[in-house]
């Protein structure tokens, strides 16, 4: 039956997008990498939905989905940061480790894999998230590098800041930080107040161009922290 293969085909398209994004990143083609990650995220959104609509969810589909996500949202952004490490400014004292620093970017791939493994086993994340979702992390880095490339390779920024920001994003992937769900219960303000506030903030980010996605991810995390603090 053909329909049972449709969700897995969409997942494979996600995987192919991740491979193309990774290849583009190794050539410094950040815009193509960003586009492939965005398209991969679209396939990732629809594969599970289609599986549920068609009633053809399977164990192999779940495993394939995690594999595709590791590539598209773990390896691909790591490759972007890997190439950026070759372009970023190095203060004189860090020149001896210039050849080794780029490889630290793949910590992000490892943490992304750990994040996905935890998500698959954590029953608390059925209606919300705990820790930064891997697609959000990938979209943050790809959008940031495309939109703010001139600043990131300027003398105002250097390898120390890049490493610290990269490591912070790794920690956010596995941190026990509750993040609200983007799903709407209905169209009422009372039931979806946080979601509407988030969307209004996203509209304010649109003038930032390519950096808009990274700004939206930062807004999402900050708003989640405020919501979590109020609940506690």
Which residue, among 148, 166, 163, 167, has the nearest Cα to 91 in the 3D structure?
163
Residue 156 lies inside a defined structural domain of this protein: yes
Query: Are 20 and 42 a contacting pair, CB within 8 Å?
Result: no
Which of the residue ranges 33-47, 89-103, 137-151, 169-183 would you say has the lowest mean pLDDT? Answer: 169-183
Q: Is residue 61 assigned to a domain?
A: yes
In 3D, which of 7, 104, 102, 19 has the Cα closest to residue 63?
7
Residue 99 forms part of a structural domain: yes
Q: For residue 191, tell me if it sits in a domain.
A: no
Per the domain annotation, does 213 fall within a domain? Answer: no
User: Residue with structure tokens 């059925």?
Assistant: 126
Number of independent structural domains in the chain: 1
User: pTM value?
Assistant: 0.91
Residue 131, domain CATH = 1.20.120.1760
Please write the tens of the pLDDT for every residue from 166-176: 999 999 999 98
Report if residue 76 sits inside a domain: yes
Q: What is the pLDDT of residues 108-135, one digit of tens each?
A: 999 999 999 888 777 676 667 888 999 9
86 is in which domain, residue-wise?
2-178
Is 62 among the domain residues? yes
Specify if 203 maps to a domain: no
Convert the pLDDT of each residue in 178-229 to its tens digit. Answer: 888 877 666 777 778 888 999 999 999 999 999 999 999 999 999 999 988 8
């Amino acid at each position: 039956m053909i329909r049972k293969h449709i969700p897995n085909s969409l997942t494979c398209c996600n995987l192919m997008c991740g491979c193309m994004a990774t290849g583009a990143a190794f050539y410094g083609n950040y815009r193509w990498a960003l586009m492939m990650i965005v398209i991969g995220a679209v396939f990732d959104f629809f594969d599970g939905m289609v599986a549920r609509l068609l009633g053809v969810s399977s164990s192999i589909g779940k495993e394939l989905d995690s594999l595709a996500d590791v590539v598209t949202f773990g390896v691909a952004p790591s490759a972007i940061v890997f190439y950026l490490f070759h372009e970023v400014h190095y203060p004189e004292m860090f020149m001896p480790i210039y050849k080794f620093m780029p490889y630290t970017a793949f910590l992000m791939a490892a943490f992304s894999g750990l994040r996905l493994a935890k998500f698959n086993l954590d029953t608390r994340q059925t209606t919300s998230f705990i820790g930064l979702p891997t697609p959000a992390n990938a979209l943050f880095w790809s959008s940031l590098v495309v939109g703010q490339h001139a600043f990131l390779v300027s003398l105002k920024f250097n390898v120390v800041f890049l490493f610290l920001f990269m490591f912070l994003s790794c920690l956010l992937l596995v941190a026990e930080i509750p993040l609200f769900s983007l799903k709407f219960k209905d169209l009422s303000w009372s039931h979806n107040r946080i979601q509407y506030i988030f969307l209004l903030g996203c509209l304010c980010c649109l003038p930032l161009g390519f950096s808009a996605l990274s700004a939206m991810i930062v807004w999402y995390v900050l708003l989640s922290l405020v919501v979590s603090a109020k609940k506690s």
